[in-house]
A and B are shown apart, each in its own frame.
Chain A
Amino acid sequence: MSLAELSARRGVRLGGLALVAVLAVGTTLVAAFDVPLERIVTVGFVNRALLAASPIALAAIGGLYAEKSGVFNIGLEGFMIFGAVTAAAALYGLGGTDPTQWHVWAAVVTAVAFSVLLTAGYAVLLIRYKADQIVAGLAVWFMGLGFAPFAASLIWGTVRSPGLTRVTQYSLPYLGEVPVVGPILFQQSPFVVITAVVVVAAWVVLYRTRYGYWIQAAGDNPEALDTAGVNVNRVRYATVIFSGVMAGLGGAVLLAHAGNFIGTGDTMVDGRGWIAIVAYLFGNYNPLGAAAAALLFGGLDMLQVQFQTADIAVSGRLMGLAPYIGVIVVLTVWGKTRMPASVGEPYETEE
């Protein structure tokens, strides 16, 4: 336990260091391009960062649960792609090119339902048939990269969907007009709020409920959990399915925020599932930390918009690389996280 505490404390220090580094780089950039910071960090920027962060945070929460229980779900990216394309297909199927808000919610629910089926099969491969977790996860990604544009081509004739619709932001009367806080809290995408609720709930369940302790034990000491009479593999089935569902929901939310499906290149998910993995590593497997990291990456992703509006002449394409480089920096400074002890090892009940 003391080792865990030590590494956690060291982790906090390293995390602080990384944040300081990011801030330093930011400040230097701002100074070098001679731009007042207030033109970069605006209310609009915070909102865009929250929108960009929510799919990443959702997938990160899922991946975190799976890994806590001892299964490395490296297929998050693939499940996000499947979630996005399923939501787009459902949205189009229900409402054509002019869907209503009810259709948006129905599409998200459809994507989640489909994710349950998909990840149930994946969980059986991983747990029952002891598939190599890394290779199977990569396979899910490849399947997403192939089948999602394939499905899009079948439906729309091209790998891109036509413009469908976005989820509308709710807006509370009066409160929404409060400066700064109003537009962020009271005029917001409902999915940002749902993400926040999921994050807090995930923290409470993991650290404050008996089931959360089972999940942690399944990853750290499965034998003890087995001895205590809890079925380790049943816990793992639950977390793997949960992780896929969260990633699928993340993909659906990404679509609901974007309003149309893009299947070219690495699809519209474009590495967000991988970033989600780094987000929960950076958050040291703590849901709150993972969400904060997701927000950091979301912010990096949206920097290019800010640079454009602030008239800074940096290629949009190069600025778009900021989150990926941020991920590498974070992993380098923060690489040695304390993984659950038996991640990646199939568990066989001793009878």
Chain B
Amino acid sequence: MSDGASDPGRVRTALDRAADRILDASVYERVGIAVGSTGLALLIGLVIVALAGYDPLRFATQLVVGSFGSERAFARTLQFTTLFILAGVAVAIAFRAGVFNIGVQGQLIVGGIACVLAIVWLAPYVPDGRIGGTGLVAVGLFASVVAGGLYAALPGALKAYYGANEIITTIMLNFVAIGVVGWAVDGPLRPDDARSVRTEYLPDNVGFPQLLFEYPSFSLVGLGLALVVVVAISVVATRTSFGYDMMTSGYQLRAATYSGVDARRMIVQTMTLSGMVAGLVGAVFAIMVQGYFIDPSGLGTYGFDAIAVSLLAANNPIGVVPAALLFGALDSASSHVQIHSEVPVQLIDGIVGLVVLFVAAPELFRMIAERTGLGGDRR
């Protein structure tokens, strides 16, 4: 919370603000809704497991073991968490500004392929070893940010200047990204010696250094990068005039226009920023997890689950972190369940849908709280 740590006065105000927030009933309420939604969705999931004739207790145990039960499981949880933090922040930026970017999935695909292509093309001109590798990683991250940003700017501009509903255009652009990148990975970008559908491998010197964990698909550097993005975005959102304009044009369009904000340009900028972070998800996936790029129809649905992550966090970049940990754990547990359980793993996707459904209906929880008297003195 204390990002301006050197100045004691600022630390004090930051602490005050944090205290205010904790005391704010609506934060309690939001956390309550998030916990309630997740709990209820998991409960329904377990009931379905029981109805389908499996042992719900065993399934619940497998969820925990599969996400936190071993160092390997925990590293895998953190791997997914890293991707969900970035993707969740990408969604949160747009949703907070009242723009429904459902296209994070497409933007991360475009960002990921741009990252891989930039690195593979540049690699012959860069010296081997650590310095060259670090340079290539930087280039790859940059390429993904640019590509993701542009791919999101398009629906932003179509909404701002032509009134095209961004929910639908971004979903269509997801299909287009999957189709075009899938075609390219299976065609012009597929090396002759590749037995499966994929691009060339990234050079050996490209990757995040392994720290602490020995799990090859996760590095604390990746998680650190995601957390830096969280802090940067929340600073931009809460401490800059750009962030303020972004929020107000989302919720108080008339007021924002009155105070001289160009709302249309704001929409394009919001989408671009959201897409830039989404592009980064693709780069981290390519560099940290995969080491090359695959047919995007077989990629995880990080961009969609990120909508649930962001909603659970009430579209707050800081809140995205615990929500991403929850979804990271669920995804990690999926990998475990797939191998060690009879229960079809798609159930977990359904549970994610239930979480989103309950988050959409806070009134439901208010009613439950009022009926049961758990909600305290609301109203």
Is the CB–CB distance between A136 and B353 below 8 Å? no
Is the CB–CB distance between B162 and A135 below 8 Å? no
Q: In the complex, what distance in Å separates the CA atom of A143 from the CA atom of B346? A: 10
Q: Within 8 Å CB of A144, what residues of B? A: 353
Q: Within 8 Å CB of A125, what residues of B? A: 357, 360-361, 364
Is the CB–CB distance between A336 and B168 below 8 Å? no
- Chain B residues 338-360 with CB under 8 Å of chain A are 344, 346-354, 356-357, 359-360
Closest CB in chain A relative to B253 CB, distance in Å = 15
B251 at the binding interface (Cβ < 8 Å)? no
Q: Mark A130-155, 1 if CB is under 8 A from B, else 0.
A: 11101110111111111101100110
Is the CB–CB distance between A147 and B359 below 8 Å? no
A274 at the binding interface (Cβ < 8 Å)? yes
* Known contacts A142-B356, A321-B175: A335-B347 contact under CB 8 Å: no
Is the CB–CB distance between A142 and B353 below 8 Å? yes
B3 at the binding interface (Cβ < 8 Å)? no
Q: Mark B168-200, 1 if CB is under 8 A from A, else 0.
A: 110111011001101100110000000000000
Q: In the complex, what distance in Å separates the CA atom of A150 from the CA atom of B349? A: 9
Is the CB–CB distance between B168 and A278 below 8 Å? yes
Is the CB–CB distance between A150 and B360 below 8 Å? no
Q: Mark B89-116, 1 if CB is under 8 A from A, else 0.
A: 0000000000010100000000000000
A96 at the binding interface (Cβ < 8 Å)? no
Which A residue sits closest to B187, measured CB to CB? A315
Which A residue sits closest to B348, measured CB to CB? A146
Q: Within 8 Å CB of A149, what residues of B? A: 344, 346, 349
A271 at the binding interface (Cβ < 8 Å)? yes
B212 at the binding interface (Cβ < 8 Å)? no
Q: Within 8 Å CB of B47, what residues of A? A: none
* Known contacts A150-B350, A332-B164, A335-B163: A130-B172 contact under CB 8 Å: no
Q: Within 8 Å CB of A136, what residues of B? A: 357, 360-361
Q: In the complex, what distance in Å separates the CA atom of A129 from the CA atom of B363? A: 5
Closest CB in chain A relative to B159 CB, distance in Å = 8
A4 at the binding interface (Cβ < 8 Å)? no
Closest CB in chain A relative to B155 CB, distance in Å = 8
A318 at the binding interface (Cβ < 8 Å)? yes
Is the CB–CB distance between B169 and A331 below 8 Å? yes
A320 at the binding interface (Cβ < 8 Å)? yes
A159 at the binding interface (Cβ < 8 Å)? yes
B227 at the binding interface (Cβ < 8 Å)? no
Is the CB–CB distance between B171 and A139 below 8 Å? no
* Known contacts A131-B360, A278-B168, A321-B175: A331-B353 contact under CB 8 Å: no
Q: Within 8 Å CB of B180, what residues of A? A: 318, 321
Closest CB in chain B relative to A319 CB, distance in Å = 9
Q: Within 8 Å CB of B163, what residues of A? A: 335-336
Q: Within 8 Å CB of B176, what residues of A? A: 321, 324-325, 328
Q: Which of B187, B311, B354 contacts A135 (CB 8 A)?
A: B311
B165 at the binding interface (Cβ < 8 Å)? yes
B52 at the binding interface (Cβ < 8 Å)? yes
Closest CB in chain A relative to B337 CB, distance in Å = 12
B294 at the binding interface (Cβ < 8 Å)? no
Q: Mark A197-212, 1 if CB is under 8 A from B, else 0.
A: 0000000000000000
Q: Which of A130, A135, A159, A335 contacts B165 (CB 8 A)?
A: A335
Q: In the complex, what distance in Å separates the CA atom of A320 from the CA atom of B176? A: 9
A268 at the binding interface (Cβ < 8 Å)? no
* Known contacts A131-B363, A271-B175, A325-B176: A138-B164 contact under CB 8 Å: no
With most chain A CB atoms within 10 A of its CB, the pick from B164, B167, B297, B301 is B164
Q: Which of B171, B353, B367 contacts A129 (CB 8 A)?
A: B367
Q: In the complex, what distance in Å separates the CA atom of A281 from the CA atom of B333? A: 41
B34 at the binding interface (Cβ < 8 Å)? no
Q: Within 8 Å CB of B356, what residues of A? A: 135, 138-139, 142
A277 at the binding interface (Cβ < 8 Å)? yes
- Chain A residues 254-270 with CB under 8 Å of chain B are 263, 265-266, 270
Closest CB in chain B relative to A141 CB, distance in Å = 8
Q: Which of B100, B102, B307, B344 contacts A153 (CB 8 A)?
A: B344
Q: In the complex, what distance in Å separates the CA atom of A144 from the CA atom of B354? A: 10
Is the CB–CB distance between B183 and A129 below 8 Å? no
Q: Which of A74, A129, A331 contacts B364 (CB 8 A)?
A: A129
B118 at the binding interface (Cβ < 8 Å)? no
Q: Mark B278-316, 1 if CB is under 8 A from A, else 0.
A: 000000000000000000010001001001100100000
Which B residue sits closest to A141, measured CB to CB? B353
Known: A125-B361, A321-B176. 20 other contacts (CB 8 A): A125-B364, A129-B361, A131-B364, A142-B349, A142-B352, A146-B349, A147-B347, A150-B349, A153-B344, A159-B346, A266-B175, A317-B186, A324-B173, A324-B175, A327-B168, A328-B158, A328-B169, A328-B172, A335-B158, A335-B163
Instruction: Please list 22 pairs of residues, one from A and one from B, whose beta carbons are closer than 8 Å in the complex, sorted by A's number.
Output: A129-B361, A129-B367, A134-B100, A135-B360, A138-B356, A139-B356, A141-B353, A143-B357, A144-B353, A145-B301, A146-B353, A147-B350, A147-B353, A149-B344, A150-B347, A159-B346, A271-B175, A317-B179, A318-B183, A324-B179, A325-B172, A328-B176
Closest 6 CB pairs of A and B: A146-B349, A146-B350, A143-B353, A153-B344, A142-B353, A335-B163
